[in-house]
Every structure is written in C-alpha cells, then in structure tokens.
Chain A
C-alpha cells in the first residue's frame, strides 16, 4: 500500500517506522526541516519538507494515488484541512485523522472525516476503567482520624429500598445527610429509605472508609448456590 503521513512528529515517525517494517510504501510530509532530517537519518529517504495541508504539496507527494492518508500533526485544525484536501481534491478514500479534543470527533464526522483517533479519549476510557465505579469522594478531613465523605448509591446496591435502621454501618461511622437524585437535601432518620442515585454524606474513621463504601454500594451477596 502507498501511505502518506501528514506530520512527522513522534506519532508520524513511529507510524512510519512500523509501516515501513510491514513493507508498505510510506511518505511523510513535515513542515520542519530539522524533523525531516531526523526522520531520514533513521528511516531513509521517506520524508519530504512541506505543508501537508496545501493541495500543491499533496499533489507533489502523489496523494492522488495514495491508498491511505494519515493526518497526525499535533493540531486538530491542520489534520482536518489536510484530510479535506485529500478527500475533496484528490479523492483519497481511506483517511484517518488524529484529534486532540475528543469533542472534535463529532465535528470531523459531520464534516466528512469519519475515521478519527483520539489519544485523549483512549486515555480517558482507561482511566474510567481503572477507577472504582462507585467511588467515594473525600470532602473534609477532621481531627482524631475522622473524614467526611460522599458516596452515591448505585442502583445495584443491596441497601436500595431499605430503611436506614436496617443498614449496617461500620464502627464509628454515621450518616449526616442525604441529597436525593432530584437534589433535595434530607436529614436522615431511622425510617429514611435509601434510593439509587442518593448522595450520602457520612462521617467515618479513615480506616473504615472502605468498609463504609462497601456497606453503602456493594450488591447483595449472591445466594444462587
């Protein structure tokens, strides 16, 4: 395949390296002469100096016969224009754009560039997977080892629908207040029933935080055996 890469930064360089190793014909268009020299030092004569957003440059680079164009500069607007030139002037059918602002994914799609890759989105989705889903937010640290925390009650929690008197809290923990899903604050009583989406503000000892989180958000034990 003939693959044209717009942007010879780190992403462009390592993509080119991988693609050359996979026996593809690769050309990098890069604006900065120093970067072009650095690429050629390592990968041979596969880089050309120029503005990859200019139609004249893309023409010289043979974009017309490219099987694939990758726009991977660090600027979303440059990648968009490079892709639009390749699509509308040279009819390249397979185009991939790198984007930084995840919100630009939708904009690129509406402007005809369907295939985008966002490092920001990829890292965000990893972070979301790594974080506990029903996290506890620490609001305030008090003296003598106490902590004020907030927990949102998840829908699968065992205590959904239970009155507070039936909820077993860890030692030295106390529920201070509840803000329901509609945003109404409530003072807890023994009869207060907890609902999914309630935000519970509680005082607990630092060493009991995890136990409190489990008490408020863990699903009922599996009794199916």
Chain B
C-alpha cells in the first residue's frame, strides 16, 4: 500500500515506522526537517519530504495522485481537516484518515464524510477505563500489577 503520512510527530513517526517495517511504501511529510531526525529511526526506509500538506503542490510531490491512503496527524486540527479534504475530495485518495483533537469539530467532519479519529475522546476513555478498573492500593504503590 502506498501511504502518505502528514506530520512527523510522535504519532506520525511511530505509524510511519510500523508501516514501513510491514513493507508498505511510506512517504512522510513535515514542515520541519528536524522532526525526521528527532522521531524516525535510522532504519526508516520511506521517503521524507519537507513541506506543508495543505499545499497541493507539496501533496503532488509526495505522490498523492498514486497514493492508496492518506493520514493527517499534525498537531493542528485545521491543517489536518483541510489536508484530508484535499486528499479525499480533490485527489480522490481511497482511504483518508484524519486526526482531530476537538471532539465537536471531529463530529462535524465525520458528518461531512471524513474518516476521523479524536485522540481526546479515545484518550479520555482509556484513562477512565484504567481508573475504574484500578483497585485502590497501598499509598505510594504504582508498581505494575503482577503478570
């Protein structure tokens, strides 16, 4: 699968590394080249492109016209929403996934036909689940539960 990932933060870089490891053709975009050295392992075999994913010329350079999937994972909800809409509606990329922190904005874009995911909702859910499952322990004990 030819995948373009926009945003080389912790999440974008981790996903790019996993997909590259699994043998996919990965291109990762970021406006800041330092992010590539900061978060990608030396073994990363995909393409790294410096540029803004809301710029259609940059997206073309990243091979969006042949891409099977596009993932927007920058820290900016608006950038993610705009780039994903360009990927989906202008370039017709078959699979587009967009990260949106703001749950209200996420819901709106889901209704508009984007495949969205909100780390805010998911994160809060996981934390709450962990909290509710957790038995009260002796003070100061944060050791992992016995296997």
Interface residues of chain A, those whose CB is within 8 Å of chain B, are 53-56, 75-78, 80-81, 84-85, 88-89, 101, 103-104, 107, 110-111
Interface residues of chain B, those whose CB is within 8 Å of chain A, are 54-57, 76-79, 81-83, 85-86, 89-90, 102, 104-105, 108, 111-112
Chain A residues positioned under 8 Å from B86 (CB to CB): 107
Cβ contact within 8 Å between B108 and A85: yes
Chain A residues positioned under 8 Å from B55 (CB to CB): 101, 103
Cβ contact within 8 Å between A76 and B54: yes
Chain B residues positioned under 8 Å from A104 (CB to CB): 54
Q: A76-B82, A80-B82 are in contact. Are A103 and B105 (CB under 8 A)?
A: no
- The contact of B81 among A75, A77, A103, by CB within 8 Å, is A77
A204 to chain B, nearest CB (A): 37
A10 to chain B, nearest CB (A): 21
Q: A80-B78, A81-B78, A103-B56 are in contact. Are A110 and B90 (CB under 8 A)?
A: yes
Chain B residues positioned under 8 Å from A77 (CB to CB): 54, 76, 78-79, 81-83
Cβ contact within 8 Å between B108 and A55: yes
Cβ contact within 8 Å between B105 and A55: yes
A-B contact pairs, 7 of them (CB 8 A): A54-B102, A77-B76, A77-B78, A81-B77, A81-B105, A103-B57, A107-B56
B46 to chain A, nearest CB (A): 25
Chain A residues positioned under 8 Å from B78 (CB to CB): 53, 75, 77-78, 80-81
Chain B residues positioned under 8 Å from A85 (CB to CB): 105, 108
* Bound CA span A104–B83, Å: 11
* Bound CA span A76–B76, Å: 13
Nearest residue, chain B, Cβ from A79: B78
A185 to chain B, nearest CB (A): 30
- The contact of B82 among A54, A55, A81, A88, by CB within 8 Å, is A81
Chain B residues positioned under 8 Å from A76 (CB to CB): 54, 82
* Bound CA span A119–B56, Å: 19
Chain A residues positioned under 8 Å from B102 (CB to CB): 54
A100 to chain B, nearest CB (A): 10
* Bound CA span A107–B85, Å: 9
Chain B residues positioned under 8 Å from A103 (CB to CB): 55-57
Nearest residue, chain A, Cβ from B80: A77
Known: A101-B55, A110-B90. 20 other contacts (CB 8 A): A54-B102, A54-B105, A55-B104, A55-B105, A55-B108, A77-B54, A77-B76, A77-B78, A77-B79, A77-B81, A77-B82, A80-B85, A81-B105, A84-B112, A85-B105, A88-B112, A103-B56, A103-B57, A107-B82, A110-B89
Nearest residue, chain A, Cβ from B74: A77
Chain A residues positioned under 8 Å from B77 (CB to CB): 53, 81
* Bound CA span A62–B90, Å: 32
